[in-house]
Structure 1
Amino acid sequence: MNSKAGSFARGQAFRLKSGGSGFIGQVVGSGGQGSVYEADLDGRKLALKWYHPHVAVADVNLRQRITRMVQQGAPDGSFVWPMDLAEVDGSGSFGYIMPLISPDRRPLKLMFENGKERINPSLTARVAACLNIATSFQKLHATGYCYQDINLGGFFLEPERGSIQICDADNISVDGELGGVYGTRKFMAPEVLRREALPSTKTDLYSMAVLFFYMILNWHPLDGKAEASIAMMTPAAEMALYGTQPRFVFDPKDSSNGPVTGTHDWIMARWKAMPEVLKQLFIRVFTTGLMQPQSRPLESEWRSALDQLGEAVVACPKCGFEHGADLKLLESGSHCVVCQTVMALPPLLTARRDPLLLKLRRKILEYQMAAGYVDPAAQVIASVQSNPKDPTMIGLQNMNTASWDVRGLDGKNFSVAPGKTVRILDGLNIGFGQVHGVISNVAGKAS
């Protein structure tokens, strides 16, 4: 072992604080804090994070924070959470064991790099990943913790489905308590960058919004014409852009840092293609929320908007550009924001402000009809199915425990019992208990 560098030869033994021992394998990653190794614990494959000795000495609360996290356990399965402290005799440092990153996950930062390693998930997968992150951080914050350092390097993504794993858990600390870091500069809340506040759940909400903007629009929300005009980025310029004079690139009341034609064309198109409910959250956090932390949207608000967008993604049949369908898109004639082609949307079920797209095989959950908070465990009340004898004919299957009261355009009423299916037709009014929905746009094709 090279104790100064904190590196180990393969096969080096380690022991756990709770008892037991294991063996260190090959290095799988390294950084400023330390290195991560494969580890074998009685045949179980785990990971071992080992701190550089100078880090263990400088961060006086590090061991205490990790011990507390081990004792309390992970708030959510997405976190790569410390399982037990580890020590090696004569090392001058310590580490902890944790689960390995799943082999189907890729570093999120690869979304923003060029070359053969770059990943480019669909809008649906990006939104699913954001929804999963919001859910995980809601659970983390509910336990009294804050993450402190949300940035592109802390997440691993399954590019097809959007499932995620959150690493760097050792940066997590009790809300408002000084931990080991302030954050990553372009993700820090302005008050943290100015050193007027410590990282907290309120600053996490800001950093999380920056992350979502990156993931959905491939850009930083404060990088507009002001950033584009800077020939050389200096610490003073960064402080102005992100700390003392931050301005949202899509601020509806201040265009002084707006997008630049020719530079931000794709970002402008993606912004225009987003549903109003999501745009309003971004506007809130990056206008009033820049200086008023209490105005920043909560995780529950993001979850609701992201859940709605995830079920409303439609692609232009000509250029493939992806949109989030909402009432505003419908009122504009469902034209593609890039090539102006009219997009044929699936049939629509309107029970709240923005209609639900009745895509084939979609399952509709109870909360989606009432515009309530996202509840993945909620009951499935309907499912869009095709007729086995005629795939072009689609219907809505009653997955509820009670019958639906249905009225057609002819004014006749009838019931649809649980398990039965009603053909999707224009003007059909369906009573889902206390909530009613009306079907329209059946001329569109289900996707």
Structure 2
Amino acid sequence: MVNGMLAAGKTLVAESGEKVKVAELFGSGGQGEVYRVTTPQGDRALKWYYPQLADARQRQILEGLIARGWSDDRFLWPTAIVLDPEGPKSGAPGFGYLMDVRPSRFQDLPALFRRDPSVSAATMRTLVTVALHTVEAYQSLHSKGIAYRDINWGNIFFDPRTGDVLVCDNDNAVVEGESAAVAGTMDFMAPELVRRDKGAQPGTQTDLHSLAVLLFLLLMNDHPFNGAQALQIRCMDEAAKRRLYGTDPVFIYDPSDARNRPVPDEQPTVVATWGALPKILRDFFVQTFTDGVRTPVKRVRETQWRKALSQVLDAITQCGSCGKQNLTQPDGAAPDCWKCGRTLVLPPRLELVTGTGTSRTRRGIRLAPSARVYAHHLVEDPDRHDFRAVVGEVTEHPQNRGRFGLTNHTKDVWTARKDDGTVRDVEPGRTIALRAGLLLEFGGGAEAEVRD
């Protein structure tokens, strides 16, 4: 029986000479089909290109990616080129590439918008974590001088319980300045690419626009240019998309152009979500989709998104009345709960200082029940945020309900200085009561103070 282009049971050959046997069709996309295959090392995924796309340039790109030997666990990176030893009847052999199979815990982002039961575990904290991990993943590519070129919601998957991400379809990532067959997905493409401006090429600068669109969709549940003007379009054909995303792109919350505002009766979720978004994120979206549209170098960079999302994540506050999670402005006043409308009661903050000399970094963590301090909090510029490396956790006193402390989950001894001047050690596994004015030394130059 034939599964798409390849028959189940068909034997292919990797360039190394290893045999690859086709098992079943996983699915198809714009460039080809993906199959589960068996190899001497176990099951793998095989992306097999449509004949018209299996050209010399795509093979050259794959060879370059495979030679890099990318080992980042956030990417399903190409590992080997696979050929059909028989070849199609035309005599020109097709090809594809092997990659790891995507684990079942990872779901696609469109599942959020479908309200799929598979993502029901995703909380507001999870979504911000997904956004943060997404930024860090693409930042890691860009730091190596590689442009992804086709950032869109179909190429990234997430774990609705942990917020971990997995980037797929990495076969169009190329070294900055080099050409590739794919320029992007129009809804996510930078306006200069949609307009086909002279000299405009996909690269890390256009990736920044695509990344911001993806973050907006993730946090706002809609596209940044889909407001009143989009709703007036009767046929969303290519010409309409080029106007909406290229020749006349108007951000739905452009402060100086209200033509494309969301329609409240048609887009109530967008209106409500924008109002609940912290100012630090709203300002970055405005910058990227106004100044950044006109002047690409003004787009918000990954480092800026990373810092802002991390700060917002540490400031998430649960409403004491309805129990819903709220995004709050770091260092800002208590907002009203997006769900019940009551003013939130903000928990105390742990003001952390890391680094040495004049380059010390300051950040705050809301000390809500079960809040955690992670290893990445204690270093000035972590490579990535790891939410498995727990340093400390806010725990409730077992006998005195309503009294909370910070439990040491490390193997090191902390030093605590109370507001009365007394000093004590906080040994591994022990807890120090949380009171305003408490000073903590975690070691390595990391210090903190509890503030109301």
Q: Which band: TM-score by shorter chain?
A: 0.7 to 0.9
Q: Is the 8 A contact 2:311 2:364 kept in 1?
A: no
- Alignment partners' CA distance in 1, 2:116 and 2:417: 55
Corresponding position of 1:143 = 144
Q: Secondary structure at the match of 1:90?
A: coil
Corresponding position of 1:445 = none
Corresponding position of 1:384 = 394
Q: Is the 8 A contact 1:269 1:338 kept in 2?
A: no
Post-superposition shift, 1:179?
0.5
Corresponding position of 1:444 = none
1:71 paired with 2:67, answer yes
Would the alpha carbon gap of residues 366 and 12 (structure 1) be closer, same or farther in structure 2, given more than 3 Å must change?
A: closer
Would the alpha carbon gap of residues 335 and 160 (structure 1) be closer, same or farther in structure 2, given more than 3 Å must change?
A: same
- Alignment partners' CA distance in 1, 2:374 and 2:206: 32
- Alignment partners' CA distance in 2, 1:40 and 1:382: 44
Would the alpha carbon gap of residues 198 and 220 (structure 1) be closer, same or farther in structure 2, given more than 3 Å must change?
A: same
Post-superposition shift, 1:140?
1.0
Post-superposition shift, 1:341?
1.5
Q: Secondary structure at the match of 1:48?
A: strand
Would the alpha carbon gap of residues 289 and 169 (structure 1) be closer, same or farther in structure 2, given more than 3 Å must change?
A: same
Would the alpha carbon gap of residues 250 and 75 (structure 1) be closer, same or farther in structure 2, given more than 3 Å must change?
A: farther
Post-superposition shift, 1:188?
0.1
Q: Secondary structure at the match of 1:160?
A: coil
- Alignment partners' CA distance in 1, 2:411 and 2:397: 20
Select the residue among 406, 413, 419 that pairs with 2:417: 406
Corresponding position of 2:105 = 104
Post-superposition shift, 1:258?
2.1
1:51 paired with 2:62, answer no
1:262 paired with 2:271, answer no
Would the alpha carbon gap of residues 96 and 403 (structure 1) be closer, same or farther in structure 2, given more than 3 Å must change?
A: closer
- Alignment partners' CA distance in 2, 1:27 and 1:375: 34
Q: Secondary structure at the match of 1:267?
A: helix
Q: Is the 8 A contact 1:364 1:382 kept in 2?
A: yes
Amino acid at match of 2:227: G
Q: Is the 8 A contact 2:374 2:391 kept in 1?
A: yes
Corresponding position of 1:359 = 368
Q: Is the 8 A contact 1:51 1:94 kept in 2?
A: yes
Give a deviation string over 1:239-262, Cα, whole Å, max 9, x none: 222112222212233333222222
TM-score by length of 1: 0.86
- Alignment partners' CA distance in 2, 1:426 and 1:437: 11
Corresponding position of 1:220 = 223
Q: Secondary structure at the match of 1:96?
A: strand
What pairs up with 1:281-292 in 2 under 5 angstroms? 281-292=284-295
Would the alpha carbon gap of residues 259 and 354 (structure 1) be closer, same or farther in structure 2, given more than 3 Å must change?
A: farther
Question: Between the two proteins, what is the percent identity of the paired residues?
Answer: 32
Corresponding position of 2:37 = 39
Would the alpha carbon gap of residues 240 and 320 (structure 1) be closer, same or farther in structure 2, given more than 3 Å must change?
A: farther
Post-superposition shift, 1:403?
4.8
Post-superposition shift, 1:180?
1.2
1:13 paired with 2:23, answer no
Cα RMSD over matched residues? Answer: 3.0
Q: Secondary structure at the match of 2:254?
A: coil
Would the alpha carbon gap of residues 416 and 114 (structure 1) be closer, same or farther in structure 2, given more than 3 Å must change?
A: closer
Would the alpha carbon gap of residues 350 and 269 (structure 1) be closer, same or farther in structure 2, given more than 3 Å must change?
A: farther
Would the alpha carbon gap of residues 141 and 322 (structure 1) be closer, same or farther in structure 2, given more than 3 Å must change?
A: same
Please, which moves more after superposition, 97-106 or 345-354? 345-354
Give a deviation string over 1:146-202, Cα, whole Å, max 9, x none: 111111111222212121221111121221222011111110001111112111011
Corresponding position of 1:165 = 166
Amino acid at match of 2:299: R
Q: Is the 8 A contact 2:128 2:309 kept in 1?
A: yes
Corresponding position of 1:23 = 21
Corresponding position of 2:176 = 175
- Alignment partners' CA distance in 1, 2:116 and 2:135: 29
Q: Is the 8 A contact 1:363 1:383 kept in 2?
A: yes
Please, which moves more after superposition, 349-358 or 266-275? 349-358
Would the alpha carbon gap of residues 347 and 34 (structure 1) be closer, same or farther in structure 2, given more than 3 Å must change?
A: same
Q: Is the 8 A contact 1:133 1:164 kept in 2?
A: yes
Post-superposition shift, 1:82?
0.9
Corresponding position of 2:279 = 276
- Alignment partners' CA distance in 2, 1:176 and 1:27: 34
TM-score by length of 2: 0.85
Select the residue among 240, 244, 261 that pairs with 1:241: 244
- Alignment partners' CA distance in 1, 2:447 and 2:102: 45
- Alignment partners' CA distance in 1, 2:375 and 2:39: 44
What pairs up with 1:421-440 in 2 under 5 angstroms? 421-430=431-440, 437-440=448-451
- Alignment partners' CA distance in 2, 1:418 and 1:116: 43
Select the residue among 303, 308, 318 that pairs with 2:306: 303
Would the alpha carbon gap of residues 184 and 359 (structure 1) be closer, same or farther in structure 2, given more than 3 Å must change?
A: same
Structure 2: give runs of 5+ residues left out of the alignment.
Answer: 88-92, 354-361
Post-superposition shift, 1:313?
2.4
Q: Secondary structure at the match of 2:293?
A: helix
Give a deviation string over 1:48-93, Cα, whole Å, max 9, x none: 111122221xx43001111111111225211111111111122231
- Alignment partners' CA distance in 2, 1:36 and 1:55: 14
Please, which moves more after superposition, 187-196 or 260-269? 260-269
Corresponding position of 2:203 = 200
Please, which moves more after superposition, 187-196 or 303-312? 303-312
Amino acid at match of 2:268: D
Would the alpha carbon gap of residues 268 and 342 (structure 1) be closer, same or farther in structure 2, given more than 3 Å must change?
A: same
Would the alpha carbon gap of residues 439 and 118 (structure 1) be closer, same or farther in structure 2, given more than 3 Å must change?
A: closer
- Alignment partners' CA distance in 2, 1:178 and 1:233: 29
Would the alpha carbon gap of residues 337 and 104 (structure 1) be closer, same or farther in structure 2, given more than 3 Å must change?
A: closer
Post-superposition shift, 1:344?
3.4
